[in-house]
Amino acid sequence: MNIYEVAKKAGVSIATVSRVINNSPNVRPETREKVEAALKELNYRPNAIARSLAANTTKTIGVLASDVRDSYYANAVYILEQEFRMMGYDMILCNTGGELEKRKKYMGLLLEKKVDGMVFVGSVFKEKKDNTHIMDVSEVVPVVMLNSSLQGNNIYSVVCDDQLAAFKVVESLASRGHREIAYVYDVDSFSGLAKLNGYYSGMQAAGLPIRQEWIIRTESGINGGYMALIRLMEMQASCTAIFTSEDILAAGILKGLLAKGKKVPDDVAVFGYNDSVLARCTTPELSTVDNKVGVLAREAARMLCKVLDGEDTPHHKIIEPELVFRESCP
Amino acid sequence: MNIYEVAKKAGVSIATVSRVINNSPNVRPETREKVEAALKELNYRPNAIARSLAANTTKTIGVLASDVRDSYYANAVYILEQEFRMMGYDMILCNTGGELEKRKKYMGLLLEKKVDGMVFVGSVFKEKKDNTHIMDVSEVVPVVMLNSSLQGNNIYSVVCDDQLAAFKVVESLASRGHREIAYVYDVDSFSGLAKLNGYYSGMQAAGLPIRQEWIIRTESGINGGYMALIRLMEMQASCTAIFTSEDILAAGILKGLLAKGKKVPDDVAVFGYNDSVLARCTTPELSTVDNKVGVLAREAARMLCKVLDGEDTPHHKIIEPELVFRESCP
DNA sequence: CTGAAAGCGCTAACAT
DNA sequence: ATGTTAGCGCTTTCAG
């Protein structure tokens, strides 16, 4: 079933059929009706591949995220898909994992599939040294980075101000009388660094002592948090508050604290990051940072669509995070 | 940059270039080298769209899931993508939400994009009355259903035996001396019904009294669980165990129980479903059913790939769930 | 082993 | 307002 058969049945040329399909205004109403009748009758469905080849646009976006099983990425991917869909785009999803080489491979594959644009979800996409692979991609299609950024002609970014968020967390912890605040994190990506910086500057601004041994890098996941807490305990840390870069780490810390007989928040206050469902499932519930992943995703999608529509849009947007106070630090 | 330029540079015909790209054996080694040199030099990248049009296969699979933000779907989507990728397929992801009409629309769009096959994730995809839309799709491309099933020539399915799982949960609760077991669930999809049936038959097999008012349908999410518990409390239910169709409901129930001053598992045992990360974040940690979504997804992907390769494969696979005992029901 | 040529189904000038 | 036609970049007979 193709445009030719429809044309034959309707007694018109394929150009006319194409016109009514793409509802071009230049078609006489009667003609349009004839064609539409044929369309119905033959149960015609346009072939998007052929259209892509001819029109040189696939109406599909490539989305790279390291792992959708992480709720942050899942949220981003969900919103991206909804937004793109609304604008008539499909989304090819790639879970790239951590390795640079794998990511490069995915970018290549997406380029072969002729996606109209790409979005990279997460600050892990910005390499410390060399980002030429991203620059290369951006020579071909527009790129938007969600929660990391890179300077470039055809590169756009929308980020949450994680440094500010961390700063504020420390600030409000300090205002609650905490002077000894530990920080536990897992990765030192772009946003990981921003948070760490926020912690430092927050401590400084509040005039609190920074103790390097209380800044702990641990593995990802609930166990990472647990182990960090154990380490803190073993060094008899006197901290009265623990701030983490991820809710899941905070969950592990809560577990450890419980095991050690510490009361939260009375003995130790705990602050998470992400405002994931997790934060409402722990006991006590977690105070956390809402880093607005939904907003970031929506903005990212809209930016890309604008670029593709030839409208202009700022290359960089910053979204303000928000602190959410729950039981672990009321 | 296309096959013509490569051909010119290598001094061969486009057919030959095509052959070396698809490494057909019928190419003289020297010729192959010449072509490969040109490929390198021109930095050639095949155009997958053109290839799709000519070869009548896109090497992409359409995946429908109601919402990737739910960790069950996220897990499925992740594994599907990894497996398909390994076999050389990309994946277009659609979050269909709950409405039938929306799902139909997505199926149509995927058909236009000429996906080579589709997978429907979740038992919500089987409608109670009319599944002709799925049959229609299966006329065009093979369909595999993940955790629901439908009879059909070109339809494949892999399901977890949720009924068995629920049966076993009740059985083991009974063996721990529980005689009064409540059941809380949110949706009555294919698998929702299976679980409910398992609960019934488990209760019967154990000779326990079934009380309709202890079988509670509530809304999805942590609040749904909380509210169900409150209802139970208001009717002064004497149940000593509560089984839920989702971990997140169990989390809400735990919250409610805590609020009401009940000890878990001493006063009331709680059993969840899914073995999500959640189950390890609550206090106490949740006993739950591992319904093997990763295995389902892997099998689903492999089935589809086999079908696409023309190999044969059973139309239906059943995976056995596994109970995981943690603190909420040791 | 290699090349010529006919599509795949559609869009987009360009004519009429 | 409608039709003709030349691609889009590749695969795939079919000859040679």
pLDDT in tens, B23-35: 999 899 999 999 9
CB crowding A201-218: b at 16 or more within 10 Å, else e: bbbeebebeebeebbbeb
Half-sphere exposure of residue B322: CA atoms within 13 angstroms, side-chain side: 8
- Determine the Cα–Cα distance for residues A204 and B154; give it in Å rounded to an integer: 65
pLDDT digits (tens, 9 = 90+) for B248-278: 999 999 999 999 999 999 999 999 999 999 9
- Comparing alpha-carbon positions, the chain B residue that sits nearest to A74 is B69
Q: What is the pLDDT of residues B94-107, one digit of tens each?
A: 999 989 999 999 99
CA B158/CA B145 separation, integer angstroms: 6
Cα separation, A305 vs A313, whole angstroms: 10
Whole-angstrom Cα distance, residue A218 to residue A77? 26
Partner residues linked to A319 by β-bridges: A160
**Contacts (Cβ under 8 Å, ≥6 apart) of B132:** none
Give alpha helix (H) positions in chain B.
Answer: 3-10, 14-21, 29-42, 48-55, 71-86, 100-112, 132-140, 162-175, 190-205, 222-234, 247-259, 293-308
- pLDDT, chain A, mean: 96
Q: How far is B56 from chain A (nearest CA, A)?
A: 9
Query: What contacts B200, CB < 8 A, 6 or more positions away?
Result: B210
* Per-residue model confidence (pLDDT) at position B259: 95
The domains of chain B, with CATH numbers, are 1-56 (1.10.260.40), 60-160+292-320 (3.40.50.2300), 162-291 (3.40.50.2300)
Instruction: DSSP letter for B285, please.
Output: P
Q: How many Cα atoms are found within 13 Å in the side-chain-facing hemisphere of A24?
A: 10
Residue A184, SS3? strand
Distance CA(B116)–CA(B124), nearest Å, equals 22
- What is the tens place of the pLDDT at every residue in A135-155? 999 999 999 999 999 999 999
- Cβ atoms of A160 and A172 within 8 Å: the answer is no
Residue range A126-139: mean pLDDT, rounded? 93
- The pLDDT score that the predictor gives to residue A215 is 97
At residue A124, the pLDDT reads: 84
> Which residues from chain B sit within 8 angstroms of residue A90, using beta carbons?
92, 94, 109, 113
The token duo for B81 is 């993508």
- Measured from the CB, is A15 under 7 Å from any atom of strand D? yes
Query: Is any atom of nucleic acid chain D found less than 7 Å from the CB of residue A317?
Result: no
In angstroms, what CA-CA distances link A277 with A248, A272, B69, B70, B221?
Answer: 10, 12, 10, 10, 9
Helix (H, G, I), strand (E, B) or coil at B181: strand
8-state DSSP, B280: G
User: Nearest nt (C1') to B52 (CA)?
Assistant: D10
pTM for this model (two decimals): 0.96
Q: How far is the alpha carbon of A123 from chain B, nearest alpha carbon, in Å?
A: 19
The answer on pLDDT for B10 being more than 90 is yes
The pLDDT score that the predictor gives to residue B308 is: 97
Cβ atoms B233, B239 nearer than 8 A:
no
Average pLDDT score over residue span B232-252: 96
Interface test with B, best of A47, A66, A68 (most B CBs within 10 A): A68
* DSSP 3-state of B295: helix
Residue A268 DSSP symbol: -
Cα of first residue to Cα of last residue in chain A, in angstroms, is 64
Quickly list DSSP for B194-233. Answer: HHHHHHHHHHHHTTPPP-GGGEEE--SSHHHHHHHHHHHH
User: What tens digit of pLDDT does each residue of B123-176 get?
Assistant: 888 888 899 999 999 999 999 999 999 999 999 999 999 999 999 999 999 999
Which residues, in sequence order, are CB contacts of A116 under 8 Å at separation 6+?
Answer: A57, A58, A59, A60, A61, A89, A141, A308
Band (B291; pLDDT cuts 50, 70, 90): very high
Strand D at less than 7 A from CB of B31:
no
Give the pLDDT band of residue A216 (cuts 50, 70, 90). Answer: very high
What's the pLDDT at A276?
96
How far lies A263's CA from each of A321, A329, B237, in Å?
Answer: 28, 12, 32
Report the C-alpha gap between A319 and A51 in whole angstroms.
37
Residue A62 confidence class, pLDDT cut points 50, 70, 90? very high
* Res B228: pLDDT: 97
pLDDT of residue A161: 97
- The predicted pLDDT at position A127 comes to 86
Rounded mean pLDDT, A5-24: 95
- Output the CA–CA distances (angstroms, integers) from residue A233 to A217, B157, B270, in the order listed: 15, 50, 31
Q: With 0-12 CB in 10 A as exposed, 13-18 as middle and 19+ as buried, what is A273?
A: buried
At A128, the pLDDT band (50, 70, 90 cuts) reads confident
Classify burial at A330, counting beta carbons within 10 Å of its beta carbon; exposed 0-12, middle 13-18, buried 19 or more. exposed
B90 Cβ under 8 Å from any chain A Cβ? yes
pLDDT score of B218:
98
Mean pLDDT of A192-210: 96
- B38 CB inside 7 Å of strand D: no
Asked if the Cβ–Cβ distance from A222 to B281 is below 8 Å, we say: yes
Structure confidence at residue B145 (pLDDT):
97
d(CA B296, CA A312): 45
d(CA B48, CA B116) in angstroms, rounded, equals: 14
Instruction: Give, as ranges, the nucleotides of chain C with any atom within 7 Å of a protein CB.
Output: 1-5, 7-13
Q: Would you state the pLDDT for residue B98?
A: 86
CA distance A156 to A308: 12
Please name the member of B94, B95, B281 whose beta carbon is closest to the beta carbon of A281: B281
Q: Tell whether B278 lies on the interface with A, counting CB pairs under 8 A.
A: yes
* pLDDT on residue B129: 87
Query: pLDDT (tens digit, 9 = 90+) per residue, B56-95?
Result: 999 999 999 999 999 999 999 999 999 999 999 999 999 9
Q: What CA–CA distance (Å, rounded) separates B44 from A130? A: 23
- A26: the nucleotide nearest its CA (via C1') is D1
For the stretch A294-322, pLDDT in tens is 999 999 999 999 999 999 999 999 999 99
Confidence label for A233 from pLDDT (cuts 50, 70 and 90): very high
The mean pLDDT of chain B is 96
What's at A244, amino acid-wise?
T
Q: What is the mean pLDDT of residues A28-43?
A: 95
% of chain A exceeding 70 in pLDDT: 100
Check whether A85 has a pLDDT greater than 90.
yes
First and final CA of chain B: distance in angstroms?
A: 64
What's the pLDDT at B124? 84
